[in-house]
Structure 1
Amino acid sequence: MFTTKHFIWIGICILFILIMNHYAKKEDFTLQNACYFFMFICLLSETTKMMSDMIPSTHGGMHLNPQSLPFHICSILLFIAAYITFGKDGPLKQKMINFFAVVGTCGGIAAILIPTYGVEFNVANVYQCFMYHAALTWFSLYLIRFKHANLGMQAFKDNLVVLFALLIFNLYMNSILAVYDTNFMFIVRPPLEGLPFLNLNHGYYIYLFRIIMLGVIGLSLFHLPFIVKEKAVRQKVILTSLSPQLFLYQEKPPFYAGGLYYESIIESILNVGSHLIDDGYDEFIMITADPLHV
């Protein structure tokens, strides 16, 4: 980890992401174009992994190593990518895009930084791992950059629920396949030995708590700027739609303090005050000039 060969692979992945990002912008990739390209990479990746991870079967022949089943978070994204590519447009597809954009970016970068297959240049799975996760990172960033993903508060809640559901699912899958020493989503043990934070030095439950909190914090920080932007846009729309007339002539209170900035509340008060002064000025003059005026 972070050896010379690892840095070379990181450089290759960054170069691939930058080239694809430039090409997608230059060629004005549609979502369908990007999906087809990524699905092609997925096909190559899974074919390479399956051909490389076949092991002898007990009664003859070969079968896929259960450790290579697609239950890691990045592998699960294969099926989500297929749905995005071929599925019907609608709320479910949008939720899939929102989930893919966040988890694909975080998972892809994490997999490049923590190479579970090693960094040797003569191992097929190393090529598969780095190139797939580079393509995964690019496609996820594409969904964000070209505004296919909506990463506001609702998307944050949805993604959090899906992540916890996958956590529970893989707790069961790792238990069912414990004889094969599976470690899907790395909730059995750390992805590599000697990691500074993700380790078993303080026991398994502390490790599990750390990896869950790392996921929650990472998801929160990723969504935070989009949530702030969403809130700012919503408040701008509200402020634009409101006018002094709404404050002056509506029978019900035209706004709620929790929905606007303090500046807009003060401005509204000043608008109402100005209106009262304008309407009452002549009346005030008449009263002071004629005390008997009713």
Structure 2
Amino acid sequence: MNRAFSRKKDKTWMHTPEALSKHYIPYNAKFLGSTEVEQPKGTEVVRDAVRKLKFARHIKKSEGQKTPKVELQISIYGVKILDPKTKEVQHNCQLHRISFCADDKTDKRIFTFICKDSESNKHLCYVFDSEKCAEEITLTIGQAFDLAYRKFLESGGKDVETRKQIAGLQKRIHELETENMELKNKVQDLENQLRISQVHTSPAGSVTPKSPSTDIFDMVPFSPISPQSSTPTRNGTQPPPVPSRSAEIKRDLFGAEPFDPFSCGAGDFPPDIQSKLDEMQHKSYFQLLGFFQNPWETPTTEFRGNFG
């Protein structure tokens, strides 16, 4: 293994400075994985890491697992490791945290770099397999280092602090987006549970509001305006309607109504007959009145005749 880059002034790089400072250079490779190392740099350190990850990859390959393909995006801000199909960032290795980068001279396909993890502060060695571009990728990372170092000297160290602040803000944005997605999923679950509970309780558990026309005893309040309104009984049933007098009248065999002198109007009879009817009605009224005033008094009746 050897160092893939140096800061010699006469170094000839492969890409224009604008391509790495304003954009990024993409590469495709196979990702063997990452492992923790004890030192931030050193040829023997990366050689042991490569040997370890190659052995683990052979075991996974014998189990039918393929080596995953990734996309590398190299710029003066760092090396991003993305899924080539979904473009999801799997690892974001900031350039000021990369302490060593090299390709394997015995195996032209293998290249590595060591990066300090921002959360655990552990040194991780990332190992890749690229059949044709291993050396080119290490040189591109070296050129990004050279451009970043020049920019650091021009800004007096302020550019590094700015990149650190930007990196912290990006991390916070990612955490907030994850938290927001979790809250949306929880709200959606609660809405689904509420909808299911409403469906289960609506047929039998729904409460019908009491009609404003009844009181607390389910009785219709008395209203003098509508004396003929039906009043429910205690068991809630309605009493049968009272038939009118005209409905009770039955006709005889010839279709005529029976004679009722008390239901006829004053203009239905001649004056002499009407006066007799009024006298009879008046007399019968007082007889009934006298009976109810003294119901225990029995009138004396005399019978005259022969008794044997």
**Shared fold, TM over 0.5:** no
Larger Rg computed on CA atoms:
2
By percentage of residues, which structure has more helix?
A: 1
Which structure dedicates a bigger proportion of its chain to strand?
Answer: 2
Q: State the TM-score, normalizing by the size of structure 2.
A: 0.28
TM-score by length of 1: 0.29
